[in-house]
Amino acid sequence: MSAQINASSAYSPTEIMTVTAARLLTDRDVCFVGIGAPSAACNLARLTHAPGITLIYESGTIATRPNVLPLSIGDGELCETALTTVSVPEMFNYWLQGGRITVGFLGAAQVDCYANLNTTVVGPYDHPKTRLPGGGGAPEIATNCQEVFIILKQSKRGFVPKVDFVTSIGYGRGGNERESLGITTKGPTQVITDLCIMRPDPETKELTVVSLHPGTTREQVAEATGWPVKFAAVLEETPAPSALELDVLRDLQARTKAAHGS
């Protein structure tokens, strides 16, 4: 699917991905937010149906309410609009490892069929084709948040049979491997793309397509996935974005562009 606006539906694949991800969040969530697509989804939720959500960024900002999307975790917008800012050690030791965060919202360069994430290297670690930004706090977010949502555009380049490097563990090699490592949190429960929604199979933990976005076919999803992707027996259709959701998202993106430039 093209990243351009679909004339028949008047929204882009990126927009339905962001809106769909935002809808998964609730007013009661305490959410550890990644930069980029996760930040857009979380702030859209805050500006629409979940005004009471608590957004936390890795730099230690708690209950931040940015007017524009941050460029990085060090963006002054986060600190200036936060209820309070704590040290990074306090953020990780007390808030994250203390089990006080309900949802970790992450992006990645690669994800595999068991929801393991790679943000470290593409290719062999010692001689990579591409060196990525690295894990930051993502490995700890993936293991300590009560559950994890993952958002990224779907292609064979990103949805690979096996990640080149496990930066953040999902379900390892599947089954009960996550639990066998002593990790007690749920792990990734939702993977939201510009084509569909995936969830782990209850037994095998392999990602399974449970909902197709409007106009998307099984064939498109299969062609954009690097493994033989499975589909739920009962396949849902993702509700299209509402006019309000699109208006709020586009306004947020326009403010961000005006603040940061193109």
Whether 22 contacts 245, CB under 8 Å: yes
For residue 33, which of 21, 43, 20 has the smallest C-alpha distance? 43
The helix/strand/coil state of 37 is: helix
Element housing 196 (H / E) = strand 196-200
Work out the burial of residue 40: count CB atoms within 10 Å of its CB; fewer than 13 is exposed, 13-18 middle, 19 or more buried. buried
Angle (CA) 153-155-157 rounded to 5° is: 115
Structure token digits, residue 54: 């608590």
Dihedral over Cα of 79, 84, 90, 92: its sign: negative
Find all residues with CB under 8 Å of 68, minimum gap 6, and list them.
77, 252, 255, 256, 258, 259, 260
Element housing 56 (H / E) = strand 54-56
Q: Report phi then psi at 105, rounded to 5.
A: -115, 110
Which of 58, 77, 140, 206 does the annotation list as catalytic?
58
Structure token digits, residue 137: 């706090």
Q: Report phi then psi at 14, rounded to 5.
A: -65, -40
Residue 245 appears among annotated catalytic residues: no
Whether 207 contacts 198, CB under 8 Å: yes
Q: Which residues are catalytic?
A: 58
